Structures are given as C-alpha cells and as structure tokens.
Structure 1
Amino acid sequence: MPRVPLVLIVALAAAGCTQSPSVGVAMAAPSVPDDAGLARGEYIVRTSGCNDCHTAGYAEQGGKLDKQQWLTGSPLGYKGPWGTTYAANLRLKLAEMDEAQWLAYSATLRTRPLMPDFALRAMSEDDRRALYRFVRSLGPAGAPVPAYLPPGQEPPLPYFELKLPPAAPVASTGVD
C-alpha cells in the first residue's frame, strides 16, 4: 500500500478545518485571464440557470441549443401577484453597459420575481465580470422582450401563472 506523506495529510486536515462563509456572502475569487474568464462566464451561465429563463426553448430542448441563441430573452411571461414579468434579452441589455456599469448594476440589482437577483448579488465581482465578458462576447442579438405588466392586466399567451392560496385568517390570541 502506498504511503502518503505526512505533509499532505496535515495540509488536507487543515483544509477541512477552514470555516465556510455564511450563506449569501459573496466569496472573493481570483482574477482570471480573458480566455479563462470567458470560459468561466460560460460555465456560470450554464450552471446558474441563466438560460432556463433568458433563452427561449432552452429547457424544452434539454439545453441543446446553439450558443448563438443563448440569452436573447423569452416571450414567456411569469404572472403572479407582482404582475407579469419577462426574462430580459441579456445580450441587448449588456450591450448598453460598459463593464463598470454592469458591475455596479449587478451588485445592487433588485427585480420582480422570478429572477433570483439575490444569487447574482452574491456572486464575486470576478464572477460577475466573467459573466459580463461572456455575454458581451456573444454579441447583441434578438429583440427586446415584452414590457412588464402590472397586476390586473391579462398578459398575452404564452405565460406561466403562479397562483397563491388565499391568506389564512389570523388566529385570535384571546386578548382584546
């Protein structure tokens, strides 16, 4: 049986004792060269679910769409108590911003559902930079998506509707 050097055992044990960051805290990532940054950006898009909403037909095709179709938005509306939202055409959106604008925008982004803006805000600056550079490398394409519709307005098809149960009555505490 091969012998493992003591230095390796100590290093592995020490690595296992490091404290994990709190959930929702962006972790610092090392800066990466452009080629690696583009690959990192593509990886983030693939694994973070960006295409699930921002690329029409992506989920239905099991992710088997050409990259040139990625992130051009979707006509599928998401209707709920907030109104109806549409996944933006990120290629057009990011074409309007330089990198510094994107980093500031993405660090403070607050959107309506279903966009998990908290996940974008939790990314490291280097990951958001890699995401920006990858999307920009695809070039502008597609058309703007439909505009947000406030609650009470019926969206055109197709749309996905989230219906919530009526609010439960507040239980009496017996104290008047």
Structure 2
Amino acid sequence: MRHRSLLPIVSLSCLFAALAACQPTPPEATAGATPVDPPAPAAPHGEDPLLERGEYLVRMSGCNDCHTAGYAERQGEVDKAEWLTGSPLGYAGPWGTTYASNLRMRVDGMDEAGWLAYTANLRTRPIMPDFLLRAMAEDDRRAIYRFVKSLGPAGAPAPAYLPPGQRPDPPYMQLVLPAAPQEGPAVAASPGGR
C-alpha cells in the first residue's frame, strides 16, 4: 500500500519536471554554465537505414566473437577498421580444424542477392552457428550485408580448413566430444543413493 500512495506524487513530480523543461530559461540562469552540444543533425537524405541495424546485429549476434581477432580478449574494444577480418584461431575437433573467415573479403566478392542466397542456405562446419543465420529474417541478413560491405575489404584470408587427423599450428582450441557410454554390467547404486 505504501508504494501505491507514492505513485501520484511521483507522477506529479514527473509532470512538473516536464512542464519546467518547456519554460524558457532566463539568460542569467545560464551564465557560466557548460555549453551543451547541439543535437546531431538528421541523417542525410538517402542514407541507408539498414547500416545502423547491420552494425547492431553484427555486434549483438556475436559475429565479432569469432570473425574479429582479439575481440573477446579486448572485451569488444576493437576499432571497426579491424572488425570481421577473420581470425588465425583454429577450432579443432572430430570435423577437422576450422577458422572464422574474413567476412569483409567474402562480402566484397558478392552482390546483395548472392549474399542473401548464400546465407539462406549456408551449411558449414562447427563452430559456426549457421542455423542461426539461416533462421534470421531476410531484412536482418540484408542489413548485415550492407554494414559489412560498407566497411570495405581489409585483411587477409583466414587459414584454410584442415581435415581430421591433421594437427593445426597454434593458436587453436581443441574441442573434445564426451566419451560414449561404456558397454557392460550396470553400476550398482551406492547405499541410500538413487
């Protein structure tokens, strides 16, 4: 009940603050005050609204986690000039060793329609979560394409895939599958156990 009785006071306080913000400030009240930056200008006519969406999706979908070398180690504090240029870190497992590709070089060689078809049908080796990319809305995949394309080509190709049985050069992560259950007599439960 106590919280409920504060709601009208809080609402009135917000209303008064909003009304006060609408009142002109007398010049003497701003003397010696720190100047406030003017609002950012509106985006130029014709600028692609999908660029900002694409940057957001790349950042939040984890693309940089693998496709930008050192991104996780630097806690995301990586200049965009370094984004999505691939990584020398290999991911070794039963499938062989895969590397996160240089997406800026890959996108540079594709038009938008080609990218949309490629990402709608992408099937690759671990650890790339290709199923997430395939499940994305077409406009989200288009936004990613336009953002990556806006960065321009940079970097070098990532190392080539290595088939199973070939040991990669460092750095690499070894991903090991759990052992299969062993055949044999059932293990007796401990006293009092289930």
Bigger radius of gyration among the two: 2
Q: Does 1:168 align with 2:184?
A: no
Residue identity in the other structure for 1:45: V
Q: Using CA pairs below 8 Å that are at least 6 residues apart, which structure has the higher relative contact order?
A: 1
Query: How far did 1:163 drift?
Result: 1.3
Structure 1, residues 81-138: CA drift from partner, whole Å, max 9, x if none? 1100000000000111100000001001001000000110111000000000000000
Alignment of 1:117-156 (within 5 A): 117-156=130-169
* Amino acid in structure 2 at the alignment position of 1:131: I
Structure 1 stretches lacking a partner, 5+ long: 3-32
Percent identical pairs in the alignment equals: 70
The partner residue of 2:85 within 59, 72, 96 is 72
Q: CA deviation at 1:35?
A: 3.1
Aligned residues: 142
What TM-score do you get using the length of structure 1 for normalisation? 0.77
Aligned amino acid, residue 137 of structure 2: S
Counterpart CA distance in 2 for 1:171 and 1:69 is 54
SS across alignment from 1:57:
coil
Q: Following the alignment from structure 1 to structure 2, what is the Cα–Cα distance between the partners of residues 58 and 35?
A: 27
Aligned partner of residue 49 in structure 2, secondary structure: helix
Structure 1 position 36, deviation (Å): 2.0
Root-mean-square deviation over aligned CA pairs: 1.5
How far apart, in 2, do the equivalents of 1:87 and 1:107 lie? 18
Q: Which residue of 2 aligns with 1:159?
A: 172
Which of the residues 48, 55, 70 maps onto 1:57? 70
Instruction: Using the TM superposition, give the Cα deviation of residue 169 of structure 1 relative to its aligned residue in structure 2, in angstroms.
Output: 3.2
Residue of structure 2 aligned with 1:98, choices 111, 132, 144? 111
